[in-house]
Amino acid sequence: MILFPPAKINLGLNVPFKREDGYHEIETCMYPIPFLDVLEILPAETFSFRQTGLVIPGNDADNLCVKAYNLINARYSIPPVYIHLRKEIPMGAGMGGGSADAAYVLKGLNEIFELEIAEEELELLAGELGSDCPFFIKNEAQIAKGRGEILSPCAVTLHGYFLKIVNPGIHIGTKEAYAGIQFGTLTKSIKEIVEGPISDWKSLLKNDFETNCFKKHPSLEELKAALYKEGAIYAAMSGSGSTMFGIFNHEPALTYQDKNGFVEKIVAL
């Protein structure tokens, strides 16, 4: 079985407060985009995992794909498989690539072994692997609240637009992203904003991580300004960064493909 886990972008990200359990409450619109990893899952004599493409640091046992298999195996005692992950989506970039890979392993194993796990149950299982993982079970625009695991429908579509993604290779850890964050800068709900005219997003739709991240990494703010200068209708940082994206009503040009450490991609939505 060959699957294509997608990346996502965050349309706005509001962090209203820190919860008593130590996590931060968030509100965001997650939107899947056709920037894809490649995942192969095959029945095998013994379990094995192989990863190619972009290098993922750490041990294979810590990879979310392996953890997803172990989670399903613990619940349903499935036979071993061979998993090959071809990594194209940058890691630690606010695009959810690892979460998508894990969710698609769950979906793939459910189909291969005819486990008949309902979508709602798959979302609960995905939530055990990471806050962003449940989003990729349905893989459609959704509002995420709580830690990101409380999902609800969102009537927003970017069909017909172009998306320019620029990742400068800056790693922003979760602790760094939350340090000095300004809580609750939005006056309207993200759902209300994104379901309204895209022409209003520039003035209304904010990512609360940007202020602090831009102070520490001024080049990110420069990238956002450059996207607007190119003609983006809306530009922002995705998640906690460091990927910057711009939404265009025309196909933009590649700008950074020759810069060392940059990942740049243009996709039609």
For position 186, what pLDDT does the model report? 66
For position 172, what pLDDT does the model report? 79
Catalytic residue chosen out of the listed positions 8, 107, 145, 206? 8
Hey, what amino acid is at 167?
N
Catalytic, 229? Answer no
Catalytic residue chosen out of the listed positions 37, 87, 107, 132? 132
The residue ranges of the chain whose pLDDT is under 50 are: none
Catalytic, 8? Answer yes
For position 241, what pLDDT does the model report? 77
Domains (range + CATH), the chain: 2-153 (3.30.230.10), 162-268 (3.30.70.890)
Q: State the distance between the two ends of the chain, measured CA to CA, in whole angstroms.
A: 25
For position 131, what pLDDT does the model report? 87
User: 169 near 243, Cβ under 8 Å?
Assistant: no
Reported as a single tens digit per residue, the pLDDT across 8-37 is 999 999 998 888 887 888 999 999 999 999
> pTM of the prediction?
0.92
For position 212, what pLDDT does the model report? 87
Q: Measure the CA–CA gap between 198 and 242, rounded to whole angstroms.
A: 23
For position 185, what pLDDT does the model report? 64
